[in-house]
Structures are given as C-alpha cells and as structure tokens.
Amino acid sequence: MSNLNPQQTIRRVVELDGKGLFTGEPTIVRFHPARPNTGLWFLRSDQPKPVRVPARVELVSKRARRTSLQNGTVSIETIEHCLSACAGMGIDNLEIELTGNELPVLDGSCLPFVELIKEAGIEQQDAQRDPYLIQDMIRVVDGDMELVALPPLKPDANTLEILYELDYGSSSPIGRQVCAFSCQPEAFAEKIAPARTFVLKEEAEALRKSGLGTHLTYHDVVVFDENGPIDNPLRFPDECVRHKVLDLIGDLMLLGRFIVGRVHARKSGHALNHELVRALRAYEQRAMMSAIARAKPKLDIHRVRRILPHRYPFLMVDRIVEIEGTERAVGIKNVTINEEFFQGHYPGQPIMPGVLIIEAMAQLGGILLSQDLEHTGKVAVLFSLDKVKFRRSVTPGDQLILEAKTVRVRTNLGHVQTTARVGTEIAAQADIKFMLTDAHED
C-alpha cells in the first residue's frame, strides 16, 4: 500500500504470457493504463464480444485453493497473485487483458507481475486516493482459522500492517511460521513478491488425479514431503508464510480500495479472506446508511414538490440527503402502514408493490437530471427500464434509501443507474432512461 495520496496507473501497455496453474492453458496477459477512479478490471478479449469483469468481492465464485471471478458464463481464474502485485506496488487503476480464463502461474509468485509493472512505469494521476480506514475490530472465523481487522495504532497511519501466523501442527513438514509486514512498495517487491505458492505432496497428487495441474513439475511449484521441499530450494526460510501474506494482500484488494489499518491472520485461506472483505464492506455500508438516515436534507419535501410534478399518493421521494452536481443523488422514502396501496396489496401481509419501488427510483433519477434541465425548459419523462431486479420485499416501517447515478445525458435522452436499499440490503435495482421533452405549462 503506497504512501502516496494520488491514484496511480501504469505509463504504457506491457504483456507477458504463460500457462495457468490449474488448467495449464496458455494465456497472454496485457496490462493497460486506466483512467482515475476506474479501479482494477479484467478483460477477456478472447470472447466473441470482449467481457469486462471488475475485481470486486461481489463477483467472487467458489473455487478451491484460489480466487476466481465470474461474470455470467465468463470466469477469470487464479487472480490473487496479479491483484497482490497491483496492491503491493500501489496501482489503483489498471485494465488487465487476458486471452484465456486463467492467469499464468509463472514462477508461482507475483514477482513477474511486479517486474511487469516496473517495466511499464508507474504514473501518478490527477485524482486522490480514498483508502478504506478500519474503524472497529471486525473478526471472521472458520474452525481454527481466524482473521481480525483492527484500526491502525496511530491516527496518522496510511498503510496496512499484517501479522500472519501459519501453523499446520507438529505433524506437518511445514513448521510454525510468523510474518509481520508493513505494506510498502519497495518492501513488498523485495520481501513478499518472490514468495511462491506451495502444496503438500499428497495434496499435489490429489489435484493431479482430479485433472488439475497435470502439467506442473516439482520445479514449477514448491511441493513438500516429510523431508521438506522436493527438488526446489526455498527462497526464504519462511517462504510459506510470506506467500500467505501475498495471497491475503491480493484478496483484500477485492474491496476495491486500499486498506489502512491492521489485519491479524491465523491459518486463513482464500475463502476466509473473502469473508473478511465482505465483512468490511458490510460495516462500511451500515455506517453509510446510518449517516444517510440521520443527515439533514439537501432538498426537503417542499423543494422536492417544486421539482417533481407528482403529488400524493404518487410522490415517492420524501427528501434528498445527498446530491453531487449532476452525477449522483441519494433520497429517502419512508414506507408507512398509512400508504394507500397497503389497503389492497397483500393486506394480510403488506408488501410495497415492486412497480412503486421502481417509480421511487425513477423520481429520484428525474430529480438528478433536473439539475441539468432546470434552465432548459425540458422535463425528464420515463422512457425505458432495463436490468430490473428485485432483491427483497419492502414492508411498513422500512426506510427506502434511494440512489441514482448518471450514466449519460444527451440532447433528448438521459440514462441513470438506480438502487433502492433497506439498511444495507438491496431491495431493487434498475437502469432507467428518460426522454428529455419540452415542459408544458398548465
């Protein structure tokens, strides 16, 4: 994790190639510079229509012994070493193009990816990094495996501190190892990036029998038997725990932001790493929703009424609590038992009609677009809905937190992405397009 406040990308396109760890399929990987605030993305350019997949925990698919992403039928396998190199070297924005479904294993570490980033050159960008600051202790466990996230010891800290304990018991050929590491690019490149993936001999044989990793030899992966590594000398006496730190740093990047604070780990693997990222995301969303619910309105109901042509019972936005120019707005809809539709819509077990949730999101989108339309003599009229999804029911007593983000505005068409939440849970989502038509006075 870099000390620099500016976001960073690379200066030029670079590439490497190799075979996947599990599939053995050859793949070319190209690193492309990316604009500020775009994050880390994978691009499957081998598809009939190229598919982009963001490196976010929401898209993680269940795989044994690795981290993989899934977008529809398209997967990106074994991404942790590449993400670790990006995190360790302080890269915020990068497009990672692949010609296959698995990143190459190379030497089993992330050092080749680090060297590729160095070859490309690192470029600071005209946007500030917004790291995730761990505020409270968050703990996830699975049997004797544990991860604990803690706030930094110093208020002005700007790095991630990791303490990892690896202990497979007295019968394991890998002894107990402990690694304390402060994430800085130079230290990462020297002390963590060269650490290679490892496996026990019986685990390697089981993988080969299942058809995975059949192309690998003892020189490609560090394999341990009862006497230690087989025909492959260690780069560090504690290389195994260093590689666990490497994997953890890569998996934490699935939060989509750099992390400031401390993480203590004991025997954790990819699945538990993902759970910690989800727990951090949930904590942030709870804090955000709580702050939104308490916020003073930017636009109260009187100003909302002046913008929207709707009136009770079709006025679905009570107040606007955040508005960022023409880019984003957050509004509130308080759902009470006194709503007229509850009298006839499942009266024994009242549920807010989905079409009215969509209407509430559309009205917020109209308010957002109105920031541009106020002096044009135009109004936003619903034109089309796409990618509509309902995630949970909305009942009396719920507070709908509505969010709208502008995708595109043209002369006669506006496009927004909208979400409705109850607490941190998504209730509905939709892409909404509006026709921008001339306003008619009464």
Among 345, 375, 415, 440, the active-site one is 345
Tell me if residue 215 is catalytic: no
Reading the block at residue 215, the tokens are: 């192309």
Question: At 97, is the secondary structure helix, strand, or coil?
Answer: strand
SS3 state of residue 187: helix
Please check whether residue 191 is in contact with residue 242, taking contact to mean a CB–CB distance below 8 angstroms: yes
Torsion, Cα of 240, 244, 249, 254 (10° steps): 140
Residue reference for tokens 């989905």: 354
Side chain identity, residue 370: S
Q: What length does the chain have?
A: 442
Burial class from Cβ neighbours inside 10 Å (0-12, 13-18, 19+) for residue 411 reads exposed
Kindly state the helix (H) or strand (E) to which residue 333 belongs, with its residue range: strand 328-334
Spot the catalytic one: 32, 270, 274, 415.
270
Tokens representing residue 416 in the block:
């927004």
Residue 94 near residue 6, CB atoms below 8 Å = no
Measured distance CA(292)–CA(126) in Å, rounded: 29
- d(CA 335, CA 346) in angstroms, rounded, equals 15
Between CA 233 and CA 217 the distance in angstroms is 14
Q: Are 247 and 221 in contact (CB under 8 A)?
A: no
In this structure, the number of other CB atoms found within 10 A of the CB of residue 140 comes to 20
Give the Cα-Cα-Cα angle 349, 355, 360 (nearest 5 degrees): 105
- How many other C-beta atoms can be found within 10 angstroms of the C-beta atom of residue 442? 3
Question: Are residues 292 and 319 in contact, defined by beta-carbon separation less than 8 angstroms?
Answer: no
Which structure tokens are listed for 437? 């038509």
Residues 6+ apart with CB under 8 A from 348: none
The residues assigned a catalytic role are 270, 345
